Structure 1
Amino acid sequence: MDLRRVPPFNEWLTVLLWMQQNTLQNNVGKLDAVSADGTKHSPATLSLVIGADVIIPFPCVKNLGVVIDSHLSLEAQIRSVCKKAFYQIRRISRIRKFLDLPTCNSLVCALVSPHLDYANSLYYGLPEHLLDRLQRVQNAAARLVTGANRFASSKALLKSLHWLPVRARIQYKIAVLVYRCINGCAPSYLRDLVTRYVPA
Structure 2
Amino acid sequence: MNESKTDIVHFSSRFRPSPESVSVAIGNQVVESSSHARNLGCIMDRHLMMKEHVAAVCRSAMIAIRTIGQIRQYLTTQATQALVHAFITSRLDNNNSLLFGLPQNLISQLQRIQNTAARIVNKVPRKQDISKSLKQLHWLPVEKRIIFKILVITFKSIQGKSPSYIASMINTYQPSRSLRSSNKNLLVVPSATSHTHSVVAPTLWNSLPLSLRSHSSPSSFPGRERTGFSVGLVLSSYRILSDSVEDFNLKC
TMscore range, shorter length: 0.7 to 0.9
Contact 1:47 1:57 in 2 (8 A): yes
Q: Residue 51 and residue 39 in structure 1: after superposition, are their counterparts in 2 closer, same or farther (change >3 A)?
A: farther
Match of 1:145 among 121, 141, 146: 121
Contact 1:68 1:76 in 2 (8 A): yes
The code of the aligned residue for 2:46 comes to: S
Indicate the SS of the match to 1:144: helix
Name the count of aligned residue pairs.
174
Match of 2:8 among 18, 33, 55: 33
Structure 1: state its 5+ residue gaps.
1-26
- What's 2:68 paired with? 92
Following TM superposition, by how much is the alpha carbon of 1:174 offset from its aligned partner in structure 2, in angstroms?
0.3
Contact 2:122 2:133 in 1 (8 A): yes
**1:107, 1:53 → 2: CA distance?**
44
Match of 2:140 among 139, 164, 172: 164
- What's 1:136 paired with? 112
CA deviation vs aligned residue, 1:18-58 (integer Å, no higher than 9, x gap): xxxxxxxxx26242101222248786532123455422001
Indicate the SS of the match to 2:44: strand
Contact 1:43 1:70 in 2 (8 A): no
Equivalent runs, 1:30-69 vs 2, <5 Å: 30-39=5-14, 45-50=21-26, 52-69=28-45
Q: Residue 52 and residue 39 in structure 1: after superposition, are their counterparts in 2 closer, same or farther (change >3 A)?
A: farther
Following TM superposition, by how much is the alpha carbon of 1:193 offset from its aligned partner in structure 2, in angstroms?
1.5
Contact 1:44 1:58 in 2 (8 A): no
Is the aligned partner of 1:122 residue 2:98? yes
Q: Give the stretch that moved more between structures: 46-55 or 165-174.
A: 46-55
**1:182, 1:44 → 2: CA distance?**
42
TM-score by length of 1: 0.81
The code of the aligned residue for 2:51 comes to: E
The code of the aligned residue for 1:124 comes to: F
Indicate the SS of the match to 2:86: helix
Following TM superposition, by how much is the alpha carbon of 1:197 offset from its aligned partner in structure 2, in angstroms?
2.4
Q: Residue 96 and residue 43 in structure 1: after superposition, are their counterparts in 2 closer, same or farther (change >3 A)?
A: farther
**1:43, 1:197 → 2: CA distance?**
41
**1:143, 1:158 → 2: CA distance?**
9
CA deviation vs aligned residue, 1:64-88 (integer Å, no higher than 9, x gap): 1111112210000000000000100
Q: Which runs of 4+ in 1 moved over 6 A?
A: none
Q: Residue 153 and residue 91 in structure 1: after superposition, are their counterparts in 2 closer, same or farther (change >3 A)?
A: same
Question: Which of 1 and 2 has higher RCO (CA within 8 Å, sep 6+)?
Answer: 2
**2:103, 2:56 → 1: CA distance?**
17
Contact 1:43 1:58 in 2 (8 A): no
- What's 1:75 paired with? 51
CA deviation vs aligned residue, 1:65-116 (integer Å, no higher than 9, x gap): 1111122100000000000001000000000011111111111111111110
